[in-house]
């Protein structure tokens, strides 16, 4: 059996541009379109992994930048890899570390070779190159690796967008070379290239086309949801996904709101990750079928209704809004635990709904009904 | 069926002074000796109630002081009572609020009638009397209520200890009168009186004897573990439990370390509560069969062993010490979630061990073996 047989993507069916597929990794099947909860520091914040799994998640994301600094990739490797370390036996995707270096690290300096920076934890000095990023992700035992790229904020001058995009392409090649050298026989992990090009259509298209020449297991769209309006992001998807390989998974990085997911699946995206559901949960915000509910608000203090009694998630169907409001006001950890669980469950329910709809060729109907429910809003009965 | 038939205590067997019993409440059976996890603000901090139950807990404690201020007893009542509010369908014991008023509230003023104070949350003014405390605990739906008492710090002058003890006796009578007036027919809840008397043997004995004349469903020992050495506490138990009714449960309030529990069961105590296992869990400390493990310590950073692979608790047997150390260092919520769970599970395992040992007339052996294991300590293999 060859390595590439182990990592695989099967496009099961399409409905318009929307795609229903399956990614096979050494740690299981990922049903796409898929939302990947973020487990930055080897934990999906405030959640037990069995609950993450029960919501329907097939894959979680680990952040290379955080893990390389603490507990370090070498330590995770000695302890048996990230799956064992965090008690998640299913698929893990890791990012390259580049995005967080640019947003969190101190005194960072980027050149052709890579990026030098100091840890935001202890000031220690590090040098992240495309090769080192692949090495770290290998030590973590990641099933799906990301190439190191340069992700810039929008808006930026066109020359700057082009420079970063071209650098990212050269880094994609170096990443691929290193990945092929390091990946053991029969390991079956995958490496994804990342399309850059900011908000410039020609650059996006060139990036996608050049990247497609490299034999990647998947292709990401990076550098979106970095400050631009949603319509700019969607326009970029409109022109990018048609030039991406049909037979490989497409991952839109760092996105997004439930509406972003719906709009992006409609445009042919297969994978997503975002801190939004977990972060919002810790701030008293619940995502539901009928839109966002701000549990901080005093209007919930006497409301005996659960967030959604029809939900299969215990956090969603068991506890009253009055109780969730009380927990948040009282500063109790259980507040973040329950709302994070609710939010991840809602995101997974949304993805399951999209997967079912695509299979049954009724994505447009699902899309309309979902928007209608969100617009209906969540009016308190009291 | 009369009310008193519903609340019942059955002394199953004894082994020396140690007692094995069962308390029947409207929400189930409490197997004694029992440890009651503390759920101050309608949540055992950082734990899901199903996990609390799975550790073997039959009863949790709610704090009247916190709940009367937020979300308020009237609101909990409107929402269906504390059991429903916090999703704990088993037995709930509530304290009277007195202890927290004295330790947390502002501008408190105590007289014969009760205690006036201002909320530590918003400065609002409140008046807690023996009658109002019973009323509040009734609104919460508590299965086991505590009388309002005055608990003073040790050491204190003898006159002061005597004054507080006598006031507590008068408040016990008023509480009983109110409780009998308010308790609906067939409700089956219980009210416990509280033995005070500080570290003065004669006062402890007088308090216990006078209290025994009131028809309480149970009797507590209060005012211990408030600054005195363990040997003073145990000496007070040595002279107090022999004058407490044999056919009623005995509850040592706010205690304690695993060693305190072992020593107190040996002296005839049936119930305990303490924030220690939950609080310690949030501070990186794990209780185990082989003593306390401080997960903050760097010596754990490469240790692949779980806290106790023989434990039935997933938090204890699944995750490596290296991972628990990492989570604590990284400030992750999962650290407190896992260690709290481990600690409550260890406390319950200890209680189950004592219950089994008493039933099988080998309490002394269990006592010796348990102390031996703690003394062995938990030496890292690395």
Question: Residue ranges per domain, chain A?
Answer: 8-273, 281-371
**Binning pLDDT at 50, 70 and 90, where does residue B3 land?**
very low
User: Which of the 8 DSSP states describes residue B73?
Assistant: H
Residues paired with residue B273 on neighbouring β-strands, in sequence order: B36
Determine whether the interchain pair A329/B70 forms a contact, defined as Cβ–Cβ distance below 8 Å. Answer: yes
Determine whether the interchain pair B323/A85 forms a contact, defined as Cβ–Cβ distance below 8 Å. Answer: yes
CATH topology of domain B8-273: TIM Barrel (3.20.20)
**Binning pLDDT at 50, 70 and 90, where does residue B378 land?**
confident
The contacts of residue B355 (CB under 8 Å, 6+ apart) are B20, B31, B32, B33
Q: How far apart are CA A279 and CA A285, in angstroms?
A: 9
Average pLDDT, integer, range A72-99? 98
DSSP-derived 3-state class of residue A8: strand
Task: Determine which of A154-168, B172-186, B360-374 has the lowest per-residue pLDDT on average.
Answer: B172-186
Q: Is A104 on the interface with B (CB under 8 A)?
A: no
The contacts of residue A229 (CB under 8 Å, 6+ apart) are none
pLDDT over 80 at A46, yes or no: yes
Q: Is residue A65 within 8 Å of residue A2, measured between CB atoms?
A: no
Peptide bond into A331 cis (omega under 30): no
Q: How far apart are CA B239 and CA B205, in angstroms?
A: 7
CA-based nearest residue in chain B for residue A323: B85
Best probe of the B interface among A68, A81, A326, by most B CBs < 10 A, is: A326
Q: Is A177 on the interface with B (CB under 8 A)?
A: no
CA-based nearest residue in chain A for residue B49: A334
Write the pLDDT tens digit of every residue in A207-236. Answer: 999 999 999 999 999 999 998 999 999 999
Determine whether the interchain pair B323/A46 forms a contact, defined as Cβ–Cβ distance below 8 Å. Answer: no
**pLDDT value of position A159:** 97
* CB-CB neighbours of A4 under 10 Å: 11
Q: Is A319 on the interface with B (CB under 8 A)?
A: yes
**pLDDT value of position A382:** 41
**Binning pLDDT at 50, 70 and 90, where does residue A186 land?**
low
Q: What is the mean pLDDT of chain A?
A: 95
**How far does the CA of residue A210 sit from the closest CA of chain B (Å)?**
39
Average pLDDT, integer, range B281-286? 98
Best probe of the B interface among A44, A88, A330, by most B CBs < 10 A, is: A330
**Binning pLDDT at 50, 70 and 90, where does residue A5 land?**
very low
Residues of A belonging to the active site: 95, 273
DSSP-derived 3-state class of residue B254: coil
Determine whether the interchain pair B333/A334 forms a contact, defined as Cβ–Cβ distance below 8 Å. Answer: no
The contacts of residue B177 (CB under 8 Å, 6+ apart) are none
pLDDT over 80 at B60, yes or no: yes
Average pLDDT, integer, range B224-244? 96
DSSP-derived 3-state class of residue A224: coil
Peptide bond into A58 cis (omega under 30): no
Best probe of the A interface among B48, B62, B302, B321, by most A CBs < 10 A, is: B48
Which token pair is A302? 């006497």
Q: Is B89 on the interface with A (CB under 8 A)?
A: no
**pLDDT value of position B4:** 42
Contacts 24+ apart (CB under 8 A), A291-299: A291/A373, A291/A374, A291/A375, A291/A376, A291/A377, A291/A378, A292/A378, A293/A321, A293/A378, A295/A321, A295/A324, A295/A325, A295/A328, A295/A335, A295/A339, A296/A325, A296/A328, A296/A329, A297/A325, A298/A325, A299/A380, A299/A382
Q: Is residue B9 within 8 Å of residue B22, measured between CB atoms?
A: yes
**pLDDT value of position A187:** 75
Q: Is A230 on the interface with B (CB under 8 A)?
A: no
Q: Is the ipTM of this complex over 0.90?
A: yes
Q: How far apart are CA B266 and CA B241, in angstroms?
A: 11
Q: How far apart are CA A327 and CA A312, in angstroms?
A: 22
DSSP-derived 3-state class of residue B135: helix
**Binning pLDDT at 50, 70 and 90, where does residue B183 land?**
confident
The closest CB to that of A45, out of B48, B66, B333, belongs to B333
The binding site of A consists of 95-99, 149, 196, 223
**pLDDT value of position B374:** 96
Q: Look-up: residue for tokens 């004054």?
A: B163
The closest CB to that of B302, out of A78, A320, A336, belongs to A78
Q: Is residue B186 within 8 Å of residue B1, measured between CB atoms?
A: yes
pLDDT over 50 at B100, yes or no: yes
The closest CB to that of B71, out of A43, A45, A301, belongs to A301
Average pLDDT, integer, range B55-62? 98
Average pLDDT, integer, range B179-204? 91
Write the pLDDT tens digit of every residue in B125-140. Answer: 999 999 999 999 999 9
Q: Look-up: residue for tokens 């260690």?
A: B339
DSSP-derived 3-state class of residue A24: strand
Scanning B158-275, the segments in alpha helix (DSSP H) are 158-182, 201-212, 230-240, 258-266
Q: Is B53 on the interface with A (CB under 8 A)?
A: no
Q: How far apart are CA B223 and CA B365, in angstroms?
A: 30
Determine whether the interchain pair B41/A332 forms a contact, defined as Cβ–Cβ distance below 8 Å. Answer: yes
Q: Is B67 on the interface with A (CB under 8 A)?
A: no
Q: Is B72 on the interface with A (CB under 8 A)?
A: no
Set of chain B residues whose Cβ sits within 8 Å of the Cβ of A330: 41, 66, 70
Ramachandran bin of A293, using left for φ above 0, alpha for ψ from -120 to 50, beta for the remaining angles:
beta
Average pLDDT, integer, range B91-103? 95
pLDDT over 60 at B87, yes or no: yes
pLDDT over 50 at B91, yes or no: yes
**Binning pLDDT at 50, 70 and 90, where does residue A107 land?**
confident
Residues paired with residue B194 on neighbouring β-strands, in sequence order: B220
Write the pLDDT tens digit of every residue in A48-59. Answer: 999 999 999 999
3-state helix, strand, coil in chain A (%, to 5): 45, 20, 35
Determine whether the interchain pair A85/B43 forms a contact, defined as Cβ–Cβ distance below 8 Å. Answer: no
Q: What is the mean pLDDT of chain B?
A: 95
The binding site of A for substrate consists of 95-99, 149, 196, 223
Closest CA to B162 of B249, B247, B223, B102: B223
Determine whether the interchain pair A42/B323 forms a contact, defined as Cβ–Cβ distance below 8 Å. Answer: yes
A260: phi then psi, degrees, rounded to nearest 5:
-60, -40
pLDDT over 60 at B382, yes or no: no
Q: How far apart are CA A358 and CA A361, in angstroms?
A: 5
Please count the CA atoms within 13 angstroms of the CA of B212 that sit on its side-chain side.
17
**Binning pLDDT at 50, 70 and 90, where does residue B372 land?**
very high
Exposure b/e, A79-90, CB count within 10 A at least 16 = b: bebbbbbbbbeb
Q: Is A121 on the interface with B (CB under 8 A)?
A: no
Task: Determine which of A32-46, A96-110, B29-43, B67-81 has the lowest per-residue pLDDT on average.
Answer: A96-110
The binding site of B for substrate consists of 95-99, 149, 196, 223
CA-based nearest residue in chain A for residue B335: A46
Percent over 70 (pLDDT), chain A: 97
Closest CA to A366 of A344, A378, A377, A350: A350
**How far does the CA of residue A186 sit from the closest CA of chain B (Å)?**
27
**How far does the CA of residue B304 sit from the closest CA of chain A (Å)?**
6
pLDDT over 90 at B277, yes or no: yes
**pLDDT value of position B105:** 86
The contacts of residue A121 (CB under 8 Å, 6+ apart) are A69, A70
The closest CB to that of B332, out of A45, A322, A337, belongs to A45
Q: Is residue B221 within 8 Å of residue B233, measured between CB atoms?
A: no
* CB-CB neighbours of A13 under 10 Å: 12
CA-based nearest residue in chain B for residue A317: B87
Strands A106-110 and A115-118: antiparallel
CA-based nearest residue in chain B for residue A329: B70
Average pLDDT, integer, range B313-331? 98
Q: Is B38 on the interface with A (CB under 8 A)?
A: no
Write the pLDDT tens digit of every residue in A273-291. Answer: 999 999 999 999 999 999 9
Which token pair is B21? 């019993």
Best probe of the B interface among A43, A317, A339, by most B CBs < 10 A, is: A43
Write the pLDDT tens digit of every residue in A57-67. Answer: 999 999 999 99
**Binning pLDDT at 50, 70 and 90, where does residue A184 land?**
low
Please count the CA atoms within 13 angstroms of the CA of A43 that sit on its side-chain side.
25
pLDDT over 60 at B5, yes or no: no
Q: Is A365 on the interface with B (CB under 8 A)?
A: no
**Binning pLDDT at 50, 70 and 90, where does residue B6 land?**
confident
Set of chain B residues whose Cβ sits within 8 Å of the Cβ of A88: none
The binding site of B consists of 95-99, 149, 196, 223
**Binning pLDDT at 50, 70 and 90, where does residue B185 land?**
low
């Amino acid at each position: 059996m060859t390595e590439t047989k182990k990592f695989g993507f099967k496009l099961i069916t399409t409905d318009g541009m929307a795609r229903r597929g399956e990614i096979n990794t050494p740690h299981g099947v990922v049903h796409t379109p898929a939302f990947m909860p973020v487990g930055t520091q080897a934990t999906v914040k405030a959640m037990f992994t069995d609950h993450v799994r029960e919501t329907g998640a097939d894959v979680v994301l680990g952040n290379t930048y955080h893990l390389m600094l603490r507990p370090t990739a070498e330590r995770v490797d000695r302890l048996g890899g990230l799956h064992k370390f965090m008690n998640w036996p299913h698929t893990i995707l890791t990012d390259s570390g580049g995005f967080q270096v640019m947003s969190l690290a101190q005194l960072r300096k980027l050149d052709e070779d890579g990026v030098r920076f100091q840890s935001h934890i202890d000031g220690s000095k590090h040098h992240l190159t495309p090769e080192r990023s692949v090495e770290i992700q290998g030590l973590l035992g990641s099933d799906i690796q990301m190439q190191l790229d340069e992700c810039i904020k929008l808006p930026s001058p066109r020359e700057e967008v082009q420079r970063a995009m071209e650098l990212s392409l050269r880094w994609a090649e170096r990443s691929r070379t290193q990945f092929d050298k390091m990946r053991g026989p029969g390991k079956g992990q995958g490496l994804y290239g990342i399309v850059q090009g900011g908000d410039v259509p020609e650059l996006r298209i060139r990036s996608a086309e050049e990247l497609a020449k490299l034999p990647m297991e998947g292709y990401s769209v990076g550098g979106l949801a970095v400050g631009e309006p949603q319509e700019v992001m969607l326009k970029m998807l409109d022109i990018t996904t048609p030039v991406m390989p049909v037979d490989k998974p497409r991952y839109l990085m760092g996105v997004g709101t439930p509406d972003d997911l719906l709009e992006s699946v409609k445009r042919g995206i297969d994978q997503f990750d975002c801190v939004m559901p977990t972060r919002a949960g810790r701030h008293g915000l619940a995502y539901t079928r009928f839109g966002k509910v701000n549990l901080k608000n005093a209007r919930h203090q006497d409301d005996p209704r659960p967030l959604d009694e029809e939900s299969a998630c215990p956090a969603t169907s068991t506890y009253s809004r009055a109780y969730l409001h009380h927990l948040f006001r009282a500063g109790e950890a259980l507040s973040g635990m329950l709302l994070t669980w609710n939010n991840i469950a809602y995101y997974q329910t949304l993805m399951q709904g999209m997967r079912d709809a695509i299979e049954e060729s009724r994505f447009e109907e699902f899309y309309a009904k979902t928007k209608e429910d969100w617009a209906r809003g969540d009016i308190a009965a009291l």
